[in-house]
Chains A and B, each alone.
Chain A
Amino acid sequence: MKKVIIIDDDAWMRESVARYLTTHADLQCIEASNCIDALDILNEQQHVPDCILLDIFLPGYNAFTFINELRSHHDFASIPIILWTSHVEGIKDVSLGAYGIVSVINKTTMTNTTVYQAICEAIHNESN
């Protein structure tokens, strides 16, 4: 079973997407409300997750600090990352490829299916 880590400080949004992915997409979802918790989870995991769904504005570390931490660790350096945010316009100037971000989801227009498709695509591209 493929494993996805969902990092978002909005618990209800996180749970809603996790509910869908677990029930309908046969993915194992692990939730974290901030980047520090996510790093702890990553360190405890026996298997590296297949994809990370990451909000940008988080308490403590923001998304880009987290990605820099992640990329400095050999085991986690190649995990595909999908950003999801309500503030897409705020990231237009950021060079996403340099951070290893494979796609960006707009929370104000997304559906659970969009999220699932983006995850499938990220995992598929990574395995090829």
Chain B
Amino acid sequence: MCYTISSMRQGDTHIEHGARTDVAMATMVAHELKSPLALIRHLSQEIQHDLTHSPDQISLIHEQITLTSERLLRLVQNITTAETLNQELFQLEPINPLAVCEDVLHEIQPLYRAQGRDIIVKKRRKIPLILANRDLLHRVVSHFADNALKYTPKGSTVYIGLQQQANKRVRIAVRDFGPGVDAHVVRSVQEGRCIKFIPRRPDSNGLGLYIAGQFADCMDAQLGVSTHRDGASFYIDSMESNQLSLI
């Protein structure tokens, strides 16, 4: 079952359709939460029952539990925010996209390093301010970075790239090195459609992308994905701010 983002947002009043949508969403959420919860449970049991671990090993497992819980909380926070999304609560303002990317980097780098990967921010030239909501943009980039971690081999570096586009837009892209994505996924993301299943990335059910799409719509931004021979780039194109031209 697959619903367009717009049909879900317009508040379809048809009860049966609404109920089906709720069930589909609940299933997607449950699917997404299961694996990290199973990991937290398993690691906790390991600490509790295995008395042969050294203090260093216990400390490492504690760190893994903490980082997995934080990742889970970010996801839950995004789901609850998406559920109560109201444009009036999320005012757009001129913000520095580089600062947002650096915030995300600061937040997610410990998780990357603990898993033997790295993430860096790359920008080519001076990047203009954009018109966006800092909190929502942070969540979108954070989702991309979290997703890239899952699909990037150990020892690799994920890039958060910033680039000024020709159409008065600024692109923030997160480049991963996992399996590429198929053409129909690229089209679905660009058309704002919900994806139930991503071939070659079967652990992704598209929930994160769907939520990121809602956040992007709220900021009049567009999500997209481009595929490479050795991975994919998920990006958000935001409007440039006219603030500086008014001075």
The distance from the CB of A66 to the nearest CB of chain B, in whole angstroms, is 12
The distance from the CB of B101 to the nearest CB of chain A, in whole angstroms, is 25
Instruction: Enumerate chain B residues within 8 angstroms of A19, measured Cβ to Cβ.
Output: 46, 50, 57
Q: Are A108 and B64 in contact (CB under 8 A)?
A: no
For residue A96, CB closer than 8 A to chain B, the reply is: no
Q: Are A13 and B202 in contact (CB under 8 A)?
A: no
Q: How many angstroms from the CA of A24 to the CA of B49 in the assembled complex?
A: 12
For residue A86, CB closer than 8 A to chain B, the reply is: yes
Interface-facing stretch out of A4-12, A45-53, A75-83: A4-12
For residue B80, CB closer than 8 A to chain A, the reply is: no
For residue A116, CB closer than 8 A to chain B, the reply is: no
For residue A33, CB closer than 8 A to chain B, the reply is: yes
Q: How many angstroms from the CA of A57 to the CA of B133 in the assembled complex?
A: 35
Q: Are A10 and B39 in contact (CB under 8 A)?
A: yes
For residue A23, CB closer than 8 A to chain B, the reply is: yes
For residue B38, CB closer than 8 A to chain A, the reply is: yes
Instruction: Enumerate chain B residues within 8 angstroms of A112, measured Cβ to Cβ.
Output: 45-46, 49-50
Q: Are A87 and B50 in contact (CB under 8 A)?
A: no
For residue A62, CB closer than 8 A to chain B, the reply is: yes
Q: Are B200 and A59 in contact (CB under 8 A)?
A: yes
Q: Are B153 and A12 in contact (CB under 8 A)?
A: no
Which of A16, A59, A110 contacts B151, CB < 8 Å?
Answer: A59
Q: Are A16 and B203 in contact (CB under 8 A)?
A: no
Q: How many angstroms from the CA of A22 to the CA of B34 in the assembled complex?
A: 26
Q: Classify chain B's interface size.
A: 20 to 34
For residue A58, CB closer than 8 A to chain B, the reply is: yes
For residue A97, CB closer than 8 A to chain B, the reply is: no
The distance from the CB of B87 to the nearest CB of chain A, in whole angstroms, is 35
Which of B37, B61, B203 contacts A9, CB < 8 Å?
Answer: B203
Q: Are B41 and A16 in contact (CB under 8 A)?
A: no
Chain A interface, >50% SS class = loop
Q: How many angstroms from the CA of A104 to the CA of B179 in the assembled complex?
A: 27
For residue B122, CB closer than 8 A to chain A, the reply is: no
Q: Are B34 and A59 in contact (CB under 8 A)?
A: no
Q: How many angstroms from the CA of A86 to the CA of B31 in the assembled complex?
A: 9
For residue B42, CB closer than 8 A to chain A, the reply is: yes
Instruction: Enumerate chain B residues within 8 angstroms of A24, measured Cβ to Cβ.
Output: 50, 52
Q: Are A59 and B45 in contact (CB under 8 A)?
A: no
For residue B201, CB closer than 8 A to chain A, the reply is: yes
Which of B34, B43, B68, B154 contacts A86, CB < 8 Å?
Answer: B34
Instruction: Enumerate chain B residues within 8 angstroms of A110, measured Cβ to Cβ.
Output: 42
Contact mask for chain B residues 1-39; partner A; CB cutoff 8 A; 1 contact, 0 none? 000000000000000000000000000000100110111
CB-CB nearest 6 A-B residue pairs: A57-B202, A86-B34, A107-B38, A108-B38, A57-B203, A86-B38
Residues of B within 8 A of A (CB): 31, 34-35, 37-39, 41-43, 45-46, 49-50, 52, 57, 61, 64, 68, 115-116, 150-151, 153-154, 178-179, 200-203
Given contacts A9-B203, A60-B200, 16 further A-B contacts (CB under 8 A): A13-B38, A13-B39, A13-B42, A16-B61, A19-B50, A20-B50, A24-B50, A58-B202, A59-B151, A59-B200, A59-B202, A60-B179, A107-B38, A108-B37, A112-B45, A112-B46
